[in-house]
Amino acid sequence: MKHETAGDPMTGLKWTRKTTQRIADELSNLGINVSASCVRRLLKQMDFSLRVNHKKLSLGSQADQDERDEQFVYISKLKEKFARADNPTLSVDTKKKEWVGNFKNNGTAWNRDPHLVGDHDFPSDAEGVAISYGVYDMLANQGSVFVGMSCDTAEFAVDCIERWWRYSGKHLYQNADHLLLLADGGGSNGVRNRAWKVNLQEKICDRHGIKVTVCHYPTGASKWNPIEHRLFSEISKNWAGRPLDTYETILNYIRTTQTQTGLTVKSYLMKKTYDTGIKIPDEAMTALSLRPHKTQPHRNYTLKPRKRLSVAS
């Protein structure tokens, strides 16, 4: 089930690609004889829910569906491979942008009196903007959330991952030489984002001497990225109904997020200003030590450290 689960980043609602009958059949193969109705009851106890149809997707070809399924299978195999080698698998993404101020925050919370907030949410009244980039360590069940104060750019995303490695990763995985990153297909860590690849090469591969493999989820499949339902939804539930009036308030709610399964979260404030619109020249792309994979090379690739050129005396 762990590779077939998706979830809502706000409510924590989970769903799976497998039908109850398929799950019952697989359990039977393992010697556990249960009915589809029993599986349905167990799924409800695990916070899974039936979902209704939404007319939001354009009809793709069978080839598109086959490609989508192929990518899910490939990601599952890589996650197992990295776990066996004790190399970290990181699910990364940017959470919904939040305005910092005395604004209404959806949800409910137990209080004697309601929080009084402004009757209008004008960005001009905000202290600033909070852009939370999450790094979820799937092996350790630990989250690190870096709250930026300017823009969601590729440089910002890679800086967050690099800091995770310095603050946590290299201490948890002292023998690791390879990272697996699971990312969405768009945004600051998008599949076509040149700056994403260049910054990964320079700030992680070259600087720390480790390889980085990136797998992007297919278009429209971001909810299958584990960080959405294992980290972001828990943060949203923790601060539900409470105004995010200061950066310290946001950082505090993030770092106090916990679950019964042992999730722990760290939070950091990123004060650096990140500029948008930076163009990456073709020369920088050709200089990358990048190897596309045979399976969907546009979504799966590995970056290796470049050899440093020795300077003649």
Using an 8 Å Cβ cutoff, are 198 and 284 in contact? Answer: yes
Q: Is residue 52 part of a domain?
A: yes
Q: Is residue 294 part of a domain?
A: yes
Alpha-carbon distance of 216 to 34, in angstroms, equals: 35
For the residues 36-40, what does the mean pLDDT come to? 78
Same domain, 26 and 115: no
Where in the sequence is the domain holding 23, given as residue range(s)?
A: 1-56
pLDDT at 136 over 90: yes
Which pair of structure tokens corresponds to residue 286? 């050709």
Q: Is residue 108 part of a domain?
A: yes
Tens digits of per-residue pLDDT, 200-212? 999 999 999 999 9
Residue at a domain's end among 56, 72, 100: 56
The amino acid sitting at 220 is G
Q: What angle do CA 190, 196, 202 make, to 5 degrees?
A: 160
Same domain, 81 and 106: yes
pLDDT at 36 over 60: yes
Same domain, 157 and 255: yes
Q: Is residue 311 part of a domain?
A: no
CATH code, domain carrying 280 = 3.30.420
Alpha-carbon distance of 70 to 243, in angstroms, equals: 42
Q: Is residue 313 part of a domain?
A: no
Residue at a domain's end among 35, 56, 77: 56
Same domain, 122 and 23: no
What burial letters (b/e) apply to 121-158, b meaning 16+ CB within 10 Å?
A: eeeeebeebbbbbbbbbbebebbbbbbbbbebbbbbbb
Tens digits of per-residue pLDDT, 109-126? 666 566 677 766 777 788
Percent of the chain with pLDDT over 90: 66
> Which residue shows structure tokens 């980290």?
231
Same domain, 49 and 113: no
pLDDT at 57 over 60: no
Q: Is residue 228 part of a domain?
A: yes
Using an 8 Å Cβ cutoff, are 236 and 9 in contact? Answer: yes
Same domain, 131 and 264: yes
Same domain, 98 and 165: yes
What pairing do the DSSP bridges indicate for beta strands 300-303 and 211-216?
Answer: antiparallel
Q: Is residue 312 part of a domain?
A: no
Same domain, 98 and 37: no
Residue at a domain's end among 12, 29, 56: 56
DSSP summary character for residue 142: E
Same domain, 21 and 76: no
Same domain, 41 and 77: no
Among 241, 252, 284, 224, which Cα is nearest to 79's? 224
Tens digits of per-residue pLDDT, 170-199? 999 999 999 999 999 999 999 999 999 999
Same domain, 193 and 256: yes
Alpha-carbon distance of 43 to 49, in angstroms, equals: 7
Write down the mean pLDDT value for the chain. 87
Q: Is residue 172 part of a domain?
A: yes
Using an 8 Å Cβ cutoff, are 240 and 12 in contact? Answer: no
Same domain, 71 and 8: no
Of the two residues 33 and 157, the one the predictor is more confident about is: 157
Which pTM value belongs to this model? 0.80
pLDDT at 55 over 50: no
Percent of the chain with pLDDT over 70: 83
For position 266, what pLDDT does the model report?
98
DSSP summary character for residue 120: S
Give the pLDDT band of residue 241 (cuts 50, 70, 90).
Answer: confident
Close Cβ partners of 306 (under 8 Å, ≥ 6 residues apart): 201, 205, 206, 287, 289
The amino acid sitting at 271 is K
Alpha-carbon distance of 130 to 150, in angstroms, equals: 8
Neighbours of 25 (CB within 10 A): 13
Alpha-carbon distance of 94 to 13, in angstroms, equals: 19
Number of domains the chain contains: 2
